[in-house]
Chains A and B, each alone.
Chain A
Amino acid sequence: MKSLQALAQNGGGDNLILQTTIRLTVPFIQLFGLYVIVHGHYSPGGGFQGGVLLGAAFILIALGYDLPTSKRYFPVRTNAILANSGALIFAGIATLCALLGGYFLDYSILTRLLPIDPIEWRSLGIFLVEVGVGLGVMCIMLSLYWDMASGGQMEEGL
């Protein structure tokens, strides 16, 4: 394991087969993650699982290349903004339902904002909340990995 560690630290881990495989599979993983989020309310999956899949795609880039490469594709600032806006979407929609006179997370009351069928609003509300959950989970998973792999320095790592 010590030699593996030395290999990871002096950047000698560049592997053409690994990097090409990752470059080919990452778009499909991201597409599958989006599919899982969008179809979350009537099939297995949902915001959490889709967010984990989207985060795993960026973690794969960080594993196969190195930490600065994954930070170039997905900057730390964007990560912080998206993670917070994901939480804001979830809490914002839930609070909006309460402010409009319904219960917390009761989407059917949103029909006062946009007059479509309350039952359709329930389906749409779950979808909107799951987009927020997916965004938050994706960014938190990626920053968890960044912190874990670089010891909190966010500069050098696996």
Chain B
Amino acid sequence: MIWQLDLLILLMVVICAIATITIRDLLGAAIVFGAYSFLLCLLWAEMGAVDVAFTEATVGAGISTILFIAAIFRTTRRSKD
């Protein structure tokens, strides 16, 4: 519980969240969303919720990023309409 570290990680989480919804490129947005999940996992581990942090690291940063990328590979670069 070091509040300086908390504040730093929280700032980076907010930056990553804003970047995820701002980036136009789908693959880039998925990767930044993975970074967001991992920073959130760091924040939870730092706050003492190790079990939640573990779930976030495996599911949020691992599997959901892979599933997003697998879904993005089924799309095309430019929209048809």
Contact = CB atoms under 8 A, between A and B. Distances in A.
Given A59-B63, A63-B66, A149 B58 contact: no
Contacts of A115: none
Give the dominant DSSP class at B's interface.
Answer: helix
A5 B66 CA distance: 15
Interface stretch (A44-52, A83-91, A95-103, A104-112): A44-52
Give the dominant DSSP class at A's interface.
Answer: helix
Given A1-B27, A1-B77, A151-B74, A49 B66 contact: no
A55 B63 contact: yes
A8 B74 CA distance: 11
Contacts of A1: 25-27, 72, 77
B76 A49 contact: no
A78 B69 CA distance: 26
Contacts of A2: 76-77
A49 B54 CA distance: 7
Interface string B55-74: 10011001100110111111
Contacts of A4: 73
Q: Which 10 interchain pairs have the tightest Cβ spacing? A: A149-B70, A44-B50, A148-B70, A52-B58, A44-B51, A2-B77, A44-B54, A49-B58, A1-B77, A49-B54
29 contacts: A1-B27, A1-B72, A2-B76, A2-B77, A36-B54, A44-B50, A44-B53, A45-B51, A49-B54, A49-B58, A49-B59, A52-B59, A52-B62, A52-B63, A53-B58, A55-B63, A56-B58, A56-B62, A56-B63, A63-B66, A144-B67, A145-B63, A148-B67, A148-B70, A151-B74, A157-B70, A158-B69, A158-B70, A158-B73
Interface of B: 25-27, 50-51, 53-55, 58-59, 62-63, 66-67, 69-74, 76-77
